[in-house]
């Protein structure tokens, strides 16, 4: 019972003219001995020469993450606003999003396969579903933590319930909402490395192209973690610019 | 309607694969499918999950308990947890397989590393959330540090610690599926080898993985309920009432 990884190794070995365990195109830029030939831990020269391999998968990865998180955020926010009005909805929504969160991503992809087929959506639906619980839970908590004084002040100024929600409650709940969004983004970037199994591509594709070449594995790992950190930083900066008053709030 | 019929077909085929043996797609009279065939794969996945979770608990809980008790190292405990979320688990598994080889032990090490952040972070946060007046009362009664940790802080922190254990267990079990890529025969074999198991086997594997994950989650939720001290349950009930 050979696994895919073992199979790809066998294929690589038989077609290989440069070094054991590596596909022939690995010697495209470099000699057969040395770091690449010996599958060193990280061959910086190879990485620098082959950075173009990762550009396409990187931006595809970004696309998958962006669609998933935006879709998840919109649905979670809508559910949170709905259950802010109708509190009885909270336990069933938490239960349902919790069940979705429990389904392992690989199983989720392949359960959707008969329905949506290979491609972007088979990856996006599970990834978006995973973000629901964290964003929903944080939004509900954020709305619940809005001080009654602030709401009373708003009502005293003659605000309707709708105005109160958009001008007082949601702005004051943003720290919690953004905290949830950040967790959702970072974990989605990491899980999206499995999106290639659903036929959606991304950095997982680059990883699986040469799954036993250390430099490639590390490149994919570094690019994934880097993407997560950059997106996280962008959200933090956006929050500072969009809501400067929060810096003045005592923590 | 045709689409719907083919979807229903896929799932009936998958259930047939789970409950009945059949010939492999590759032929040769090799039987695949059926509970007796699937069980060894499930057992490997459960074993590697248990070993990895045990390792993550053995390392993460003492560190979290001590750091939380003395109230230091928040950057380490919480930052480590947040950073851990960004790590692509499949890359860790492939790298460890490439560096130290394939096997249940090595995969368990990789999975244990992935389970460590939620255990450590939740244990630390849980310890910090314990009502300080309870700790002071315990000290006033003359308890020593280790007694305060084990008899006051740990019971009060148990529900939040268990929440971290649940997250770790589900992450580890889910990622153990990926281990079939590096040669460990887990349930991932069914979803990654349509050439052998056919589309029915792929969907069947996905169903079994999802159901087992749900059972693990439910079992650990039960444990969480059992380790929650009665006082905390009462306090929570009166707060929500």
Strand partners for B23: B31
Give, as one character, the DSSP assignment of residue A249: S
- Superfamily of domain A56-242 in CATH is MetI-like (1.10.3720.10)
**Helices assigned H by DSSP within B177-193:** 188-192
Strand, coil or helix: what is B187? coil
Residues in A touching B89 (Cβ below 8 Å): 190, 193
Strand, coil or helix: what is A53? helix
In angstroms, the separation between the Cα of residue B227 and the nearest Cα of chain A is: 21
Tokens of residue A166, six digits:
């958009």
Work out the angle at residue A120's Cα, subtended by the Cα atoms of residues A119 and A123, and round it to the nearest 5 degrees.
100
Tokens of residue A232, six digits:
């996280």
Tokens of residue A89, six digits:
């909805």
Q: What is the pLDDT of residue A26?
A: 54
Reported pTM: 0.85
C-alpha distances out from residue B152 to A107, B124, B238, Å: 41, 15, 21
Per-residue pLDDT reduced to its tens digit, B10-51: 889 898 999 988 888 888 788 888 899 999 999 999 999 999
Which residue is closest to A207 within chain B, CA to CA? B91
Q: Do B177 and A217 touch (CB under 8 A)?
A: no
Mutation site for A-interface testing, chosen from B91, B96, B198, B202 by largest number of A Cβ within 10 Å: B91
User: For chain B, how many residues are written?
Assistant: 241
- Among B110, B66, B108, CA closest to B84: B110
Q: Do A115 and B209 touch (CB under 8 A)?
A: no
Residue A144: φ, ψ to 5°:
-70, -25
Mutation site for B-interface testing, chosen from A211, A213, A219 by largest number of B Cβ within 10 Å: A211
- Beta-strand ranges (E) seen in chain A are none
C-alpha distances out from residue A207 to A120, A142, A203, B171, Å: 18, 39, 6, 20
For residue A239, the Cα-to-chain-centroid distance in whole angstroms is: 19
Four-way CATH pick for B41-234: 2.40.128.110, 3.40.50.2000, 1.10.1060.10, 1.10.3720.10: 1.10.3720.10
Q: What is the pLDDT of residue A33?
A: 60
Q: Do A224 and B91 touch (CB under 8 A)?
A: yes
| Distance in angstroms (rounded) separating the CA atoms of residues A137 and A15 | 52
Work out the angle at residue B106's Cα, subtended by the Cα atoms of residues A54 and B31, and round it to the nearest 5 degrees.
90
Work out the angle at residue A66's Cα, subtended by the Cα atoms of residues A60 and A71, and round it to the nearest 5 degrees.
130
Per-residue pLDDT reduced to its tens digit, B165-194: 999 999 999 989 988 888 889 999 999 888
Give, as one character, the DSSP assignment of residue A220: H
For residue A188, the Cα-to-chain-centroid distance in whole angstroms is: 2
Q: Do B209 and A217 touch (CB under 8 A)?
A: no
Print burial letters for A223-233: b (CB count within 10 Å at least 16), e (below 16).
Answer: bbbebbeebbe
Which residues of chain A have a Cβ shorter than 8 Å from any chain B Cβ? 1, 3-6, 39, 41, 99, 101-111, 113-115, 183, 186-187, 189-190, 193-194, 197, 203-204, 207, 211-214, 217-218, 220-221, 224-225, 228-229
Tokens of residue A74, six digits:
């919109």
- Among A4, A33, A51, CA closest to A196: A4
| Distance in angstroms (rounded) separating the CA atoms of residues A211 and B195 | 20
| Distance in angstroms (rounded) separating the CA atoms of residues B150 and B95 | 38
Per-residue pLDDT reduced to its tens digit, B205-232: 999 999 999 999 999 999 999 998 888 8
In angstroms, the separation between the Cα of residue A219 and the nearest Cα of chain B is: 9
Q: Do A6 and B82 touch (CB under 8 A)?
A: no
Longest dimension (CA), chain B: 75
Q: CB-hemisphere CA count at 13 Å for B171?
A: 28
Which of B98, B199, B207 lies closest to A214 in CB terms?
Answer: B98
Q: Do B89 and A190 touch (CB under 8 A)?
A: yes
Which of B183, B205, B214 lies closest to A110 in CB terms?
Answer: B205
Q: Do B88 and A224 touch (CB under 8 A)?
A: yes
| Distance in angstroms (rounded) separating the CA atoms of residues B111 and A194 | 16
| Distance in angstroms (rounded) separating the CA atoms of residues A10 and A23 | 10
Please name the residues in contact with B49: beta carbons below 8 A apart, sequence gap of 6 or more. Answer: B111, B169, B172, B173, B176, B216
Q: Assess whether pLDDT exceeds 70 at residue B9.
A: yes
| Distance in angstroms (rounded) separating the CA atoms of residues A50 and A42 | 13
Averaged pLDDT, B57-70? 92
Q: List per-block mean pLDDT (blocks of 10 residues) for chain A, which spans 251 residues.
A: 42 42 51 75 89 95 98 97 93 93 92 90 96 94 92 93 92 91 94 94 93 92 95 92 66 44
Quickly tell me which residue has 């999106």 as its tokens: A195
Q: Please count the other Cβ atoms lying within 10 Å of the Cβ belonging to residue A242.
A: 11
Residue spans per domain, chain B: 41-234
- Torsion from C-alpha of B190, B191, B194, B200, nearest 10 degrees: 80
Residues in B touching A225 (Cβ below 8 Å): 86-88
Radius of gyration of the CA atoms of chain A, in A: 23
Q: Do A113 and B209 touch (CB under 8 A)?
A: no
- Among A28, A55, A23, A51, CA closest to A39: A23
Handedness of CA B188, B194, B198, B200 (dihedral sign): positive
Per-residue pLDDT reduced to its tens digit, B72-130: 888 888 888 778 888 888 898 898 888 887 788 888 988 998 899 899 999 999 999 89
Residues in B touching A12 (Cβ below 8 Å): none
How deeply is A17 buried, as exposed, middle or buried, from its count of CB atoms within 10 A (0-12, 13-18, 19+)?
Answer: exposed
Q: Do B178 and A194 touch (CB under 8 A)?
A: yes
- A-to-B residue pairs, Cβ atoms closer than 8 angstroms: 140
Q: Do B205 and A204 touch (CB under 8 A)?
A: no
- Among A176, A197, A165, A185, CA closest to A243: A176
Tokens of residue A13, six digits:
């070995």
Strand partners for B31: B23
Q: What is the pLDDT of residue A8?
A: 43
């Amino acid at each position: 019972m050979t696994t895919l990884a073992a199979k790809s190794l066998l294929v690589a070995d038989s077609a290989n003219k440069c070094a054991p365990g590596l596909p022939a195109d690995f010697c495209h830029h470099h000699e057969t001995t040395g770091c690449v030939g010996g599958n060193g831990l990280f061959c910086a020269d190879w990485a620098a020469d082959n950075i173009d391999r990762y550009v396409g998968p990187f931006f595809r990865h970004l696309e998958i993450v962006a669609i998933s998180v935006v879709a998840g955020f919109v649905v979670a926010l809508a559910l949170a606003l709905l259950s802010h009005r109708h509190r009885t909805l909270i336990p069933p929504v938490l239960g349902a999003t919790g069940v979705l969160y429990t389904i392992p991503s690989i199983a989720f992809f392949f359960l959707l396969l008969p329905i949506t087929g290979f491609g972007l959506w088979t990856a996006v639906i599970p990834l978006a579903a995973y973000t629901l619980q964290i964003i929903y839970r944080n939004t509900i908590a954020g709305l619940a933590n809005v001080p009654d004084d602030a709401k009373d002040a708003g009502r005293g100024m003659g605000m309707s319930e709708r105005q109160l929600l958009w001008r007082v409650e949601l702005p004051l709940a943003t720290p919690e909402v953004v905290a949830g969004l950040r967790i959702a983004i970072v974990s989605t970037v990491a899980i999206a490395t499995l999106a290639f199994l659903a036929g959606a591509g991304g950095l997982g594709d680059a990883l699986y192209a040469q799954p036993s070449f250390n430099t490639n594995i590390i490149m994919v790992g570094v690019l994934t973690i880097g993407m997560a950190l950059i997106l996280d930083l962008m959200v933090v900066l956006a929050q500072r610019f969009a809501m400067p008053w929060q810096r003045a709030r005592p923590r | 309607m045709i689409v719907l019929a083919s979807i229903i077909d896929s799932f009936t085929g998958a259930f047939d694969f789970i409950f009945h043996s059949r010939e492999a797609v590759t032929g040769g009279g090799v039987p695949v499918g059926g509970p007796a065939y699937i069980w060894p794969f499930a057992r490997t996945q459960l074993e590697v999950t248990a070993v990895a979770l045990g390792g993550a608990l053995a390392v993460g809980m003492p560190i979290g308990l001590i750091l939380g008790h003395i109230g230091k190292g928040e950057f380490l405990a919480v930052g480590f947890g947040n950073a851990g979320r960004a790590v692509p688990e499949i890359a860790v598994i492939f790298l460890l397989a490439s560096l130290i080889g394939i096997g249940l032990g090595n995969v368990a090490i990789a999975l244990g590393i992935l389970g460590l952040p939620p255990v450590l972070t939740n244990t630390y946060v849980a310890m910090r959330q314990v009502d300080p007046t309870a700790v002071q009362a315990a000290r006033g009664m003359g308890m020593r540090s280790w007694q305060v940790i084990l008899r006051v802080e740990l019971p009060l922190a148990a529900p939040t610690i268990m929440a971290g254990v649940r997250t770790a267990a589900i992450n580890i079990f889910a990622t153990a599926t990926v281990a079939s890529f590096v040669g460990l025969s887990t349930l991932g074999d069914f979803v990654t080898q349509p050439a052998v198991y056919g589309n029915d086997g792929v969907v069947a594997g996905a169903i079994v993985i999802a159901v087992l994950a749900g059972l693990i989650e439910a079992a650990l939720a039960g444990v969480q309920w059992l380790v929650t001290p009665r006082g905390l349950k009462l306090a929570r009930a009166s707060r929500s009432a």
